[in-house]
Each structure stands twice: as structure tokens, then as C-alpha cells.
Amino acid sequence: MGALLLAIVRRDLLLAWRRRTDVATVVLFFLIVVSLFPLGVGPEPNLLRTIAPGIIWVAALLACMLSLQQLFASDHADGVLDQMLLAAAPLGLIVIARAFAHWLISGLPLVLLSPLLAVQFDLQAELYPVLALSLLLGTPILTLTGAIGAALTLGLRGGGMLLALLVLPLYVPVLILGAGAVDAAAAGLGADAHLLLLGAQLVLTATFAPWAVSTALRIAAE
């Protein structure tokens, strides 16, 4: 079973490498959105430091959403979804492997780039680890929650808009906790509470999201 899950991750990474433009689109969108705000707001350092966590988190959230619609769409079109349903491994574990590969492609680059982009906002250097850690905990939640929406809207006309309507309200707590962790650390209050809540939400999402995605995929296959 472990070899099967590893093969799924390798397959998704190989497909992503063959469609490098899709991966580059997510990263470039994140870079452009974050970089435009300092130009539009102005060079006031205090204002830039204040809005930096929210801007970076909103840009990461929107960037993660760009590739959600394609998470299961190609599998549904070419029959791979039927093979997933008939596989020996539980569908929930396959979903976790697919979500992990998707996060490696679209979430991890955002985590790695966030400290570099924070320089544009004159954010204090001691806040860079907090920002990166909040994104490291939060972006998997965005991926797993988005996978539920992607499975529910699979095969529907206008699924992209419906996916956004379903997923965006569920992203609000992650956004508040992620940006709030950096704000709390900047105010000297400590980010432990926000990060622990993000970690707890990640555990809950990783526990229940695969079951919800599996159910939605079986409904879509029927």
C-alpha cells in the first residue's frame, strides 16, 4: 500500500513537470499579486508592515485556488477516477496522496517564497519564521478543504465559480489565524496560540477531509 501511495505522488509530480506552465502560473500569480500592493499603497513603512501578513496570506489563498479545479478533473475525464475507486488501497489514502502531491506543487513554493516577498513590505526579519510556519501549517488546510470543493463540483458546468463559492467561506478561519499569527508576533504577544490552532485545524482537516472527498468522488463517478 505504501508503494502504491508513493507511486501516486510520483505520478502527480511527473504530470506536473510535464505541465510546468500550470505550476508556473500559480507561482507567478502569487509573486505578481504580492508585488503590486507595495507599488499601489506607497512607500510608507508602517503601513506596509501592517498590511503585509494579510496581503501575503490572501495572495497565497487565491494562488492555491487556481489549480483546485484541475485536481480531479483530468482523472474524471480519462477514466483514472474509476481505477482509483477500484484500487486495493482505501480511497481516502489515495486522496491524501493526491492532496500531498498537489500541496508540494502549489503550496510549498508559496511557503518558500513568502520570506523573500516579505522584504518588499519591510517586515521585521524575526517575523519571517512565523510567516513561513503559518503558511506551512495553513496551506495544507487550504489544499484539503479545496479538494472537498473540487470533488463536489467535479463534472459540473460552471464548476469553477461554484468551487469558489463553496471553498472561500471555509478558508476564512485559516486566513484569520495565519495572518493573526504574524500580527500577534509583531505586537509582542506571541504567535503560539494562533499556530497551535492552525495545527489543530490541520489535524482535524486531515482526518475528515479524505472521507468527505472520497464520498464526493464516488457520487461523481456514479
Residue ranges per domain, the chain?
A: 2-221
Q: Is 67 exposed, middle or buried (0-12, 13-18, 19+ CB in 10 A)?
A: buried
Cell, residue 56: 501575503
Q: What is the pLDDT of residues 87-102, one digit of tens each?
A: 667 888 888 888 999 8
- Output the pTM of the full model: 0.89
Are 110 and 62 a contacting pair, CB within 8 Å? no
Q: What is the pLDDT of residues 171-184, one digit of tens each?
A: 999 999 999 999 99
Q: Read off the pLDDT of each residue in 204-216 and give the average, rounded to a whole number.
A: 90
CA distance 208 to 31: 32
- What's the helix, strand, coil split of the chain in %, to 5? 85, 0, 15
Q: Read off the pLDDT of each residue in 136-147 and give the average, rounded to a whole number.
A: 93
- DSSP character for 90? -
pLDDT(188) > 80: yes
